[in-house]
Amino acid sequence: MEKITIMEQLKRADEEHYAVPHFNYSDIWDMTAIVKAAEEMHSPVILAGVPKVTNALGMEVVGAAARAMAENARTPVYLHLDHSTDIQICKDACEENFSTVMIDGSKESLEKNIEMVKDVVEYAHPRGIFVEGEIGKIKGNTEESQYTEGDFLVQVKDAVQLVESTHADILAVGIGTAHGFYKGKPEINFQRLAEVNEALKLPLVLHGGTGIPEEDVRKAIRNGINKVNVGTIIKYTYLSSVQETLNRTGPTIHTIDLMFPAVEAIKEEVKRWIKVCMSDNKA
């Protein structure tokens, strides 16, 4: 379908006080569920592949499948590469016409992070592709990030320096959220988020969506978040459904009959997140 760019989509979200939801997929089935949910809710949506998935299936295969779904969708669907620490993988995603690519240099020095983002921006921008960088650190221990130390909080001056020297388009900020399930309630530094938002006029991303209470996601949106990333709960919902069906039937059914209930379960979870992000009826 004819659609506005992801940057226009994020700007609209900023003006109208909601967030564009981003969901990580593992294969074509959860991809399908994410798109179906977005269509039913009339929400824009971001289909996000992590390098673990794009490497395993092949960037071209993933790109072709996601592109076909986006082209046929009745709602705006955007392709995103999530948390690549590898510049070449970002470039490969650009070749597959992703809308956005994320280069994550957050564990490196600020200088090295800047150098990495700059490199990807120089490749992506002439091709009409937008770049997400990260400053501060997202905590957690998943394929997206391994960081469990205390020094995660974004410094406003570092965020400004990264954006000004690289021309990154979108920024992920370390404000206390973590990838994976939380142990206890996440402690989010909303004050720092608001300060970064005040200093920079570009879309900010809340990573580590799974397990953040709805009221905190909404508060983050009020304080400058325009994109909310959700991953772990998608995988968990997918595999729980598969496990439940197999427990009931044994591995004697057609694979499709195993996947349909999983798609339905994921679709419900995605719809719930679309409501949390308030992006329903914003397509």
Active-site residues, by number, are 82
What would the DSSP string read from start to end of 19-57? Answer: -EEEEE-SSHHHHHHHHHHHHHHT--EEEEE-HHHHHHH
Determine if 133 is a binding residue for ligand 13P (CB under 6 A): no
Residue number, 70 or 206, with CB nearest to ligand 13P: 206
Q: Which of 35, 20, 8 is nearest to 282 (CA)?
A: 20
Determine if 200 is a binding residue for ligand 13P (CB under 6 A): no
**What phi, psi does 96 have (nearest 5°)?**
-90, 10
Binding letters toward ligand 13P, positions 62-101, x by CB under 6 A = --------------------xx------------------
Residue number, 6 or 245, with CB nearest to ligand 13P: 6
Determine if 210 is a binding residue for ligand 13P (CB under 6 A): yes
CA atoms within 13 A on the CB side of 234: 29
Tokens (6 digits) for 46 = 């971001």
Residue number, 245 or 267, with CB nearest to ligand 13P: 267
Q: Which of 106, 105, 107, 43 is nearest to 283 (CA)?
A: 43
Give the interface segment with ligand 13P, choosing from 61-69, 153-161, 230-238, 274-282 (CB under 6 A). 230-238
Using CB under 6 A, pick the residue from 9, 24, 26, 113 that binds ligand 13P. Answer: 24
Tokens (6 digits) for 66 = 């996601």
Give the interface segment with ligand 13P, choosing from 73-81, 111-119, 203-211, 242-250 (CB under 6 A). 203-211
The CB-of-220 to ligand 13P minimum distance in angstroms stands at: 13
Residue number, 43 or 210, with CB nearest to ligand 13P: 210
C-alpha of 92 from chain center: 18
Which ranges of 73-167 does DSSP label H, i.e. alpha helix? 87-95, 110-124, 156-166
Tokens (6 digits) for 58 = 């092949």
Give the interface segment with ligand 13P, choosing from 224-232, 244-252, 257-265, 273-281 (CB under 6 A). 224-232
Residues of the shown chain interacting with ligand 13P in the complex, contacts defined by CB under 6 A: 24, 82-83, 144, 179-180, 207-210, 229-232
